[in-house]
Amino acid sequence: MPARGVDRDLELRLDAIRREHGDTVQVSKIGEVVRAMLDTMAGDIGAGDLRLYRELESLSQYIHAAKEEIAALRPGEIKNEFIASATDELDAIVGATEAATNEIMDAAESLGSLNAVLEQDVAERLDQITTRIFEACTFQDITGQRITKVVKALKEIEDRVEGLVKMFGADFADGKPKSDAPKDLTDQDLLNGPQLPGNGTNQADIDALLASFD
């Protein structure tokens, strides 16, 4: 049975934490309480006290290790860069495929409008071909729905990462600070893939840039 003094001290500490944080307490605060309890358990300690001490010490070490592992994941970077980038790219896919599908159907509809000036057998053949084009265009609806599912899954991951960040405190939000010093570009840095609409350089600007070297 823990000493009365420890009980009272723990009670006071918990009251203070509850007043400050309500019922949602950061894990770091729990670690502080555990350490404080260990520090106060001085003097004659019975077998029960010793067991409690060991459990608390083990809990403190576990919390410390968990904190370090989660910090290493850089949850802020995951949420603010990787997931945000992924959902932007997926939105761009849906937009691009929708635009392309509409272009294809514009062309198919234009072909269909030629029926009036064609011989019947040719018009029927053309109808069959344009029908196949419309059928093929249904892919865009399916891919759009699949992408929506992926975005929902990413949002779920983002919410859970955010939960971890809240639990361990704001010092984990941004991870390692990035250096502002300019760095030399490597070949790997030049592999970025297509840019989101509005972010890349258009052909006219590229031509102008190339011409500037002449």
* Chain residues that interact with another protein, rule: CB under 8 A: 98, 101-102, 105, 108-109, 112, 127, 130-131, 134-135, 137-142, 144-145
Q: Rounded to an integer, what distance in angstroms lies between the CA atom of residue 103 and that of residue 97?
A: 10
Tell the smallest beta-carbon distance from residue 125 to another protein (Å): 13
In the complex with another protein, which residue's Cβ is closer, 77 or 127? 127
Contact 93, 196 (CB under 8 A): no
Structure-block tokens of residue 29: 């605060």
Tell the smallest beta-carbon distance from residue 132 to another protein (Å): 8
Tell the smallest beta-carbon distance from residue 131 to another protein (Å): 5
Tell the smallest beta-carbon distance from residue 21 to another protein (Å): 38
Q: How far apart are the first and last CA of the chain?
A: 86
In the complex with another protein, which residue's Cβ is closer, 50 or 100? 100
Tell the smallest beta-carbon distance from residue 95 to another protein (Å): 12
3-state secondary structure of 210: helix
Residues 6 or more apart whose Cβ sits within 8 Å of residue 63:
27, 30, 31, 34
Closest CA to 90 of 136, 174, 153, 138: 153
Instruction: Tell me how far apart the 2 most distant CA atoms of the chain are, in Å.
Output: 107
**Distances in Å between the alpha carbon of 204 and those of 191, 201, 208, 209?**
22, 8, 6, 9
In the complex with another protein, which residue's Cβ is closer, 112 or 175? 112
In the complex with another protein, which residue's Cβ is closer, 30 or 104? 104
Q: Rounded to an integer, what distance in angstroms lies between the CA atom of residue 8 and that of residue 41?
A: 12
Residue 160 neighbours by CB distance under 10 Å? 12
In the complex with another protein, which residue's Cβ is closer, 144 or 175? 144
Structure-block tokens of residue 48: 């029960």
In the complex with another protein, which residue's Cβ is closer, 61 or 145? 145
Tell the smallest beta-carbon distance from residue 129 to another protein (Å): 11
